[in-house]
Amino acid sequence: MKNKLSSLMLIATFGTLSLLFSGCLKDGESTPTPASSLTIVNAYTPSEAILAFNEHNAITQTPIAYREYWSSFNSYIYIFPGERRLTIKSLENSEPHTILDTLVTFRDSTFYTSLVYGTQDDPKQIITTDKVVESLEEEESAIRFFNLSEVTEKVTVFINDEEVFSGYDKETEETGKEHAKFIASASGELEIIVKSESGEVIAERSNFNFLPGSYYSLILTGDPELEGNGAPYIGIIRQGAN
């Protein structure tokens, strides 16, 4: 049964939106308001948190902490289709200031992800369109990988000792869009290890349960020169796709 869970997530997500924002017509009929679903990932190392704005209106009620994310799934706040100004502000020293200001064209009933990363001198953003894997089997999950870290070497991702994503430099806008495509993967509890070209283990994560039919982004964040929260880390985000 292809993409069963993803399809159910899409129906539930945009179905709920239809109930919340339906407009009344004559004879008691209603029509859903068009909307897009957005996930925002904070992999921006220089700041403890970021704020996101759509046409100068706050998208999130609270800041998105570093290594955290915000999703329409959890808030029922959606983006109306069309060309929108997406502004990201950094909360360095608790004072918000704009680091990214981008015009984005959103389409109705489509899933998007904004990946915020980079350095203080060169903040970056990748915006992906999140599409299903057409051949996904019932017991498979779907994954993709982004290298948003400050690691200078190419990195390779191993899942249960199998090489899955090989030779990833730090993402650019172009490579990020290339790497936005999900691929089929095993489900269940898996071990993930990211290694450098020289074979050094950069980060690892074990016993994360990948659910059948679900979609996940694996995201390498952090800087090898930093410790604690700023050190390299593998974030795993469950996402919608259609």
What pLDDT score does 28 carry?
52
* Chain segment 133-169, per-residue pLDDT in tens: 999 999 999 999 999 999 999 999 999 999 999 999 9
What pLDDT score does 229 carry?
92
What pLDDT score does 16 carry?
39
Smallest CA-to-CA distance from 70 within 59, 85, 79, 81 is with 59
Say how far apart CA 6 and CA 155 lie, in whole Å.
29
Structure tokens at 42: 């904070």
Mean pLDDT of 163-184: 97
Smallest CA-to-CA distance from 219 within 149, 172, 134, 130 is with 149
> Residue 74: pLDDT above 90?
no
Mean pLDDT of 199-227: 97
Q: Tell me which amino acid residue 113 is.
A: T
pTM: 0.86
C-alpha angle 218/144/169, rounded to 5°?
Answer: 80
What pLDDT score does 166 carry?
98
> Residue 11: pLDDT above 60?
no
Mean pLDDT of 96-125: 96
Mean pLDDT of 205-224: 97
